[in-house]
Every structure is written in C-alpha cells, then in structure tokens.
C-alpha cells in the first residue's frame, strides 16, 4: 500500500501478522490461553503459530517454547494470556526479542486499582520506548478474516466464522464488541477486521479507526466507543475516513452521568461530554447510532457501496399501510417523496386500475396474476420518475422459495439495468432467500421504517462526502489574553469586545453623581447593575434596577443597590455601578464557552428564556470555528425560526450573531490553557443589518 502513515505501518503486524506467538498457551482449547491456538489452527491461519509455555513440550499438537527468548525468528504478534503479576516482565522480554506487537488479554490493570494503574503505566512506557505496539490490556483481541488470524478468546466465533467483506469493526469493549460481531455475522455483514482495544495502554480506538481508514479493502467502519484518550488522533482518523469517502458509524455510550461513570470503571477511559462528541461527529459526517441494531443496519446498508445522488425517494408497496409507514419515515428523515409525473401515473392506472400511482405507488395484489407488473412499475419509477432510491415492501415473500424466486425474476432485470440506483426492501424470510436478494445488490430489512432510515443515512453520507471539511480559522496575534485578576462584568465585556463580541453603550460609575451624569450622557431610560467579580448573580441580591428615566431615580437606585450589595456580600470587592443604555426589541440569545475534559474549549449557543433552560434547545461546537460553521450551528436549533423572522417579524441579524460566535470560539481557543468558561447572557440580536449586543458577561479563569 503506497504512502501509508507511520500508524498504519506500526499496526500492520497486529492486524495482519505472519507469525504469532501465544504466551501462556494452553492445551485446553476452553481456556483463555488455549482458544486462540485452537482458532488459528482450525480456521486455517497460514502463518506460523508458536505456543509459549514452560510446562509443555507441545501444545495442541504444536511445538511449544519455554520462553519468548527461545524463539529465534521474527515475531509479528505475541498474544499475552498470562497472570497480571507476570505481564510487565513478559512484555519486557517480548520487546527485548524484537516482537512487533502484543495482544494483551490480561486484566487487572487500571480498571482495578492503583497498583494496576501503575503496572499499566509501565506497559505504556515500554511501548513508547521500544516501539512495540500493545493492544489492551484487558482486551478480547483482534482478528483478520481474510488472513484467518484469530487472535482472540471469544467463544462466539466457534458458532460461525465471519463472512469476509468490507466492514471493519473497532470496539473499546471486549464483551460488547463480541456481541456486536455475533449480531453482524447473523445479519450477513461481511467483515474484514475486528478489534477490541480494552484499557488502551498504547493502541487506542482512534488509531484503529485510522488503520481501517487507510486499509484499501476496508470500505465501512463500525465502532463502539466509550471515551477518547487522544482527540487529535481521532480528528485525524475521521478526517482521513472522510477524505477516502468511507462511512463511519459509531455507537457512542456514556452520555448520561451514570453511563460516563460506568465507562470510566470499565475501561478507565475519559468519557468527555456527550455534546462534544456530537459536535465532532457532526463535523466529520460520522453517523451516531443509538442502538446496536441501528449501527449494524446502517453498516450493512453502506457495505453495498451504493449511495443515492439526491434525496428523491420512490416507494413501491403491495400494502397501502406499509406505504404510509414508509412515507411517514421519509418525512421524519427529510427525504423527498416527489410525486410521479402525471402522464406516468395515468399509464400505470391503465396497467392496474386500482393501483395508487402518485408516490408511494401501491401495486395492490394484482401482480399475483402477472408478476411482470412489478417489473413495469419499477421500470416506470426509475426511468420516468427519476428516483435515486427505491424502497419497497414485500412482507414475508422471502419465506417461500417459490415466491422469492418469482420476486427475484421480476426485480433482477431492473437491478441489472440500473446498478447505480439504490434498491431496498422490507421483507421477511429465510437467510438463504435473503442472501439471494443481497447477491443481486438489493438491501433487505424486516422493518419498513428501518428501510427508510438506512436510505436516509446513505444519502447523508453521499452528501457529506461531496462537501469539504471546514478549515479551522487562524488565531490572530491580536486576540486578547485573560488577565490573572478576577474579572467583573465591565472588564469581561471590554475584553470580549476586543475579541469581537460587541457590547452596548455603558459607563462605570463610582458615585451617585457620576452615575447620574453618565445616564444623562447615554440617554434615558438606563439600567444600573452592581459591578463586582465576587458577585456573579446580581439579580438575586437586588443588584440590578431597570427602566430608570431620570437623574434623581438613578442617584436613588445607586444608593439602594450599594446598600443591598454590602448587606448580601459584606466581603465582596465592589468596583462601582454600571450604567447602561436600556435596549428594547431584538431576539434574546445566550452565548457561552466551557472546558470539556477531552476536547477542550467548547462553544454553546441557544435562544434566551425557556427554550434554553427548560427545553434544552442549544447547540455546541468545538472551538475554534469559522462563520460558516457558526451559521450551521445557529440554524441547527429548533428555535431558529424566531431568528429567521417568525410570524411576520423582521429577521434578526444572524450574520452578526455568527460573527460573534466565531470570534468567541477563537477567543476561547486562544485562551485554552487559562479559560474555564464564558457566559454572555443575554446577547441581543437586533434586526438584520443592526448587529448584536452583549448585555451581560461573565469570564471565569481556570482554578488550576
């Protein structure tokens, strides 16, 4: 393979070994150290199998070695099935012998206790210093179906080897990864590689995805993910998959607090915030599956390699009810159910008078008298309806060999004539009959809703592949830095204004007289607010007074605010009272940043009020990003219609809002090492062409 990366070259001995040593090999195939020997032998591994166990002269009919030191030939991969207390020494012996990779089944490391974590750190350091790659520890292994290198102890593979195919599977969980393999095998999914990463002392999930992205024969990547240790590597892997137009489907768990805690205890991984993962997946066009069945179904659909060029979907059904189910699903997923041309509808009516011919097209049961009716209906939809995907419902036809064959005879000429069009059926039947459909390039699902879900995913991938990934904006040298002192609202807004987030006309007053003069200069009505870095929630202590329309009212309010602040927070350092011109109109929004434990600075956006606080209608994106991405972020929320000008109102200045979000993201990225969070609430977006204004702001430095 030309122009391969260092990651690919370093992982090739793991994924495609020519010589495998089994450390802790057992004569009993039922034991962890015995099963990989059995699998490698019985399933036809063409390389060398070298069992290592000082207690045997041979293991399962193969010559055994007392130690890895006794093997005098190069070893691509060593399977480590030894107790935890021996693991570090055994790994050191492997490194000394020049072993290129280790598959560490052994558990009892960082997932257990402090001593285990210390031992795992030793393995990490050994891998780094020696260049020997280590998978695990606490993993279930890896296999390559085309090479029959089954370096795993999962019993699931004994019930059936995987079909060789284009899908690569990477899982951070061993047992769940094994379950994924079983369901994928039973679904008929063709697999090339399967790998579980365990505790990731060295080789991580992201590197495995990168290997699969670089591998020429892997066309689809399916992943199970609990957390991320190397975000930069994940970006690189997903970017590479996008560039090579390889769909990535990931089931990411750990979104809830309980789930995140479980993920940490399971693989000792950092879960990161769910919003951050959604942002990353959205950027690189990753399909995030909610269930394992969904993940496998979408991977299955992608494995056929046919992606609709447009969102035009035609539905052919023998059941009006199923047609409604599919039509509802098409609306849910945003597919275009354009009607058939009027003349074609009339032609089909002449063919079957009782048929529904608009789209969905309902053939009724008439075709039982003449199966060529199906062929003609399909032909009309693809030739004259110009649909890029066809979804059909044929109930349990594949349960009968005779009926299945008649269906194939009707569809086969259409499939051959239009190989670039997607054809997917909702159909139930035997595995053998379903396989006949699949061999003709026809997708098969039991549930009609799942047919539409898969078609929508395929179109989404096609659309994503046609778009270039956004280039992160450069951070100008003029971007302001956060001072070490605590910042009050006045300081925060001035700093953000320099960064590109505008604020309104205001003045900091130290005395009632100063406040009155400032109010007269700014123009009534005005707002007065206490200014103190020690008082973050000003309204709760009565530190905000609105709608003041005279100098007398301003002086009185100044004194009252000061008195309330001193009483509520006697130890607070008060910097004065902020006098601001009161604004009316516009759309209230919230901008903010926070520090994610994995991906760093994140930017949040939402509409003000109930939509954000109660309904959670917010969007997140990893900083920094440009104005186009900011605009996509704005349009992604459910309440975007409010900004676009709902119910006859003037559209808001979303261009100014996008600029403020992008500039805020650049500010956050520039101050990544010192910034904990930013809260701009509210940020008023005025009418189109009039910009936006930050009415309040809070900046918090990292405590450490």
The verdict on residue 488 lying in a domain is no
- Whole-prediction pTM: 0.92
Q: What one-character-per-residue DSSP string does 25-48 give?
A: --S-TTSTTTHHHHHHHHTT--SE
Cβ atoms of residues 218 and 166 within 8 Å: yes
Q: How confident is the model at residue 1 (pLDDT cuts 50, 70, 90)?
A: very low
Residues 6+ apart with CB under 8 A from 158: none
Domain that residue 672 falls in: 587-701
Does residue 324 sit in the same domain as residue 354?
yes
- Burial (CB count within 10 angstroms: exposed 0-12, middle 13-18, buried 19+), residue 336: middle
Token readout for 627 is 């104005």
The verdict on residue 285 lying in a domain is yes
The verdict on residue 75 lying in a domain is yes
**Which residue among 581, 596, 621 closes a domain?**
581
CA angle 560, 562, 568 (to 5 degrees): 100
Q: Looking at residue 267, what is its pLDDT?
A: 38
Give CA–CA dist 652/662, Å, rounded.
Answer: 17
pLDDT tens, residue by residue, 33-48: 999 999 999 999 999 9
Phi, psi of 665 (to 5 degrees): -65, -35
Q: How confident is the model at residue 4 (pLDDT cuts 50, 70, 90)?
A: confident
Q: How confident is the model at residue 261 (pLDDT cuts 50, 70, 90)?
A: very low
Does residue 636 sit in the same domain as residue 556?
no
Res. 120: pLDDT tops 70: yes
Q: Are strands 220-225 and 58-59 parallel, antiparallel or unpaired?
A: unpaired
Does residue 138 sit in the same domain as residue 284?
yes
Residues 6+ apart with CB under 8 A from 58: 51, 64
Does residue 29 sit in the same domain as residue 100?
yes
Res. 254: pLDDT tops 80: no
Q: Looking at residue 67, what is its pLDDT?
A: 97
Res. 210: pLDDT tops 80: yes
Q: Looking at residue 272, what is its pLDDT?
A: 57
Q: Which CATH number fits the domain that encloses residue 558? A: 3.30.1490.20
Q: Looking at residue 671, what is its pLDDT?
A: 97
Q: Of the given ranges (13-17, 82-86, 168-172, 269-273), which has the lowest mean pLDDT?
A: 269-273
Q: How confident is the model at residue 263 (pLDDT cuts 50, 70, 90)?
A: very low
The verdict on residue 517 lying in a domain is yes
Res. 271: pLDDT tops 60: no
CA angle 355, 356, 358 (to 5 degrees): 140
Q: Looking at residue 262, what is its pLDDT?
A: 41
Q: Which CATH number fits the domain that encloses residue 630? A: 3.30.470.20
The verdict on residue 478 lying in a domain is no
Q: Which of 14, 237, 229 is nearest to 110 (CA)?
A: 229
Does residue 609 sit in the same domain as residue 563?
no
Does residue 265 sit in the same domain as residue 320?
no
Q: Which of 391, 389, 454, 374 is nearest to 421 (CA)?
A: 389
pLDDT tens, residue by residue, 593-632: 999 989 999 999 999 876 676 777 899 999 999 999 999 9
Give CA–CA dist 348/194, Å, rounded.
Answer: 48
pLDDT tens, residue by residue, 216-247: 999 999 999 999 999 999 999 999 999 999 99
What is the total count of domains within the chain? 4
C-alpha to C-alpha distances, 462 to 189, 311, 332, nearest whole angstrom: 21, 10, 19
**Which residue among 302, 337, 367 closes a domain?**
302
Does residue 23 sit in the same domain as residue 127?
yes
The verdict on residue 473 lying in a domain is no
What integer best gives the mean pLDDT of the chain?
93
Q: Looking at residue 693, what is its pLDDT?
A: 96
Res. 418: pLDDT tops 70: yes
Q: Looking at residue 152, what is its pLDDT?
A: 97
Does residue 87 sit in the same domain as residue 123?
yes
The verdict on residue 483 lying in a domain is no
Give CA–CA dist 293/298, Å, rounded.
Answer: 9
**Which residue among 417, 449, 465 closes a domain?**
465
Distance of CA 469 to the CA centre of its chain: 15
The verdict on residue 474 lying in a domain is no
Q: Which CATH number fits the domain that encloses residue 426? A: 3.40.50.261
């Amino acid at each position: 393979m030309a122009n391969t990366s260092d990651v690919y070259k370093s992982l090739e001995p793991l994924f495609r070994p020519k010589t495998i040593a089994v450390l802790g090999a057992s004569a009993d195939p039922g034991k962890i150290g015995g099963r990989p020997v059995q699998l490698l032998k019985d399933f036809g591994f063409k390389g060398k199998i070298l069992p290592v166990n000082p207690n045997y002269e041979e293991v399962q009919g193969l010559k055994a070695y007392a130690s890895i030191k006794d093997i005098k030939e190069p070893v691509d991969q060593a399977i480590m099935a030894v107790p935890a207390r021996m693991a570090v020494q055994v790994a050191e012996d492997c490194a000394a012998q020049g072993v290129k990779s280790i598959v560490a089944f052994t558990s009892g490391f960082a997932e257990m206790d402090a001593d285990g974590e210390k031992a795992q750190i030793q393995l990490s350091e050994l891998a780094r210093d020696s260049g020997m790659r280590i998978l695990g520890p606490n993993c279930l292994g890896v296999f390559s179906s085309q090479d029959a290198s089954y370096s795993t102890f999962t019993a699931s593979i004994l019930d059936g080897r995987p079909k060789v195919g284009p899908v690569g599977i990477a899982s951070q969980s061993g047992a769940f990864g094994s379950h994924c393999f079983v369901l994928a095998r039973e679904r008929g999914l063709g697999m090339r590689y399967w790998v579980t990463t365990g505790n990731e002392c060295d080789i991580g999930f992201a590197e495995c995805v990168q290997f699969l992205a670089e591998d020429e024969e892997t066309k689809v990547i399916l992943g199970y993910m609990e957390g991320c240790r190397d975000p930069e590597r994940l970006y690189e892997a997903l970017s590479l998959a996008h560039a090579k137009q390889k769909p990535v489907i990931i089931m990411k768990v750990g979104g809830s607090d309980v789930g995140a805690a479980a993920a940490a205890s399971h693989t000792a991984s950092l879960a990161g915030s769910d919003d951050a993962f959604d942002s990353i997946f959205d950027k690189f066009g990753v399909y995030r599956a909610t269930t394992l069945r969904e993940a496998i179904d979408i991977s299955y659909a992608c494995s056929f390699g046919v992606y609709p060029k447009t969102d035009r979907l035609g539905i052919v059904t023998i059941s009006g009810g199923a047609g409604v189910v599919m039509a509802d699903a098409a609306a849910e997923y945003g597919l275009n159910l354009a009607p058939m041309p009027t003349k074609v509808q009339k032609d089909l009516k002449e063919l079957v008078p009782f048929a529904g011919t608009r789209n969905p097209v309902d053939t009724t049961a008439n075709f039982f008298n003449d199966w060529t009716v199906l062929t003609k209906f399909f032909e009309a939809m693809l030739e004259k309806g110009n649909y890029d995907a066809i979804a059909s419902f044929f109930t349990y036809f594949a349960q009968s060999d005779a009926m299945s064959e008649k269906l194939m005879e009707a569809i086969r000429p259409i499939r051959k004539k239009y190989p670039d069009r997607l054809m997917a059926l909702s159909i139930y039947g035997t595995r053998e009959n379903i396989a006949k459909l699949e061999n003709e390039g026809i997708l098969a699902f039991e549930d009609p809703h799942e047919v539409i879900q898969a078609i929508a995913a395929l179109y989404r991938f096609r659309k994503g592949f046609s778009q270039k990934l956004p280039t992160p904006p450069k951070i100008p040298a003029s971007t302001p830095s956060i001072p070490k002192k605590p910042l009050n609202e006045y300081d925060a807004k001035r700093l953000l204004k320099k960064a590109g987030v505008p604020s309104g006309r205001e003045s900091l007053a130290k005395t009632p007289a100063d406040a009155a003069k400032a109010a007269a200069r700014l123009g009534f009505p005005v707002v007065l607010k206490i200014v103190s870095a020690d008082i973050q929630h000003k309204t709760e202590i009565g530190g905000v007074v609105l709608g003041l329309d005279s100098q007398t009212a301003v002086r009185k309010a100044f004194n009252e605010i000061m008195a309330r602040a001193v009483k509520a927070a006697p130890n607070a350092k008060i910097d004065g009272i902020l006098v601001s011109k009161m604004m009316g109109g516009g759309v209230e929004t919230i901008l903010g940043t926070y520090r994610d434990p994995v991906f760093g600075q994140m930017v949040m956006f939402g509409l003000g009020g109930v939509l954000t606080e109660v309904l959670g209608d917010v969007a997140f994106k990893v900083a920094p990003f440009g104005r186009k991405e900011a605009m996509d972020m704005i349009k992604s929320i459910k309440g975007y219609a409010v900004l676009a000008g709902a119910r006859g109102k003037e559209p808001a200045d979303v261009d100014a809002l996008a600029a403020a979000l992008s500039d805020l993201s650049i500010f956050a990225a520039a101050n990544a090492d010192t910034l904990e969070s930013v809260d701009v609430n509210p940020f008023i977006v005025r009418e189109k062409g009039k910009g936006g204004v930050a009415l309040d702001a809070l900046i918090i430095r990292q405590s450490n």
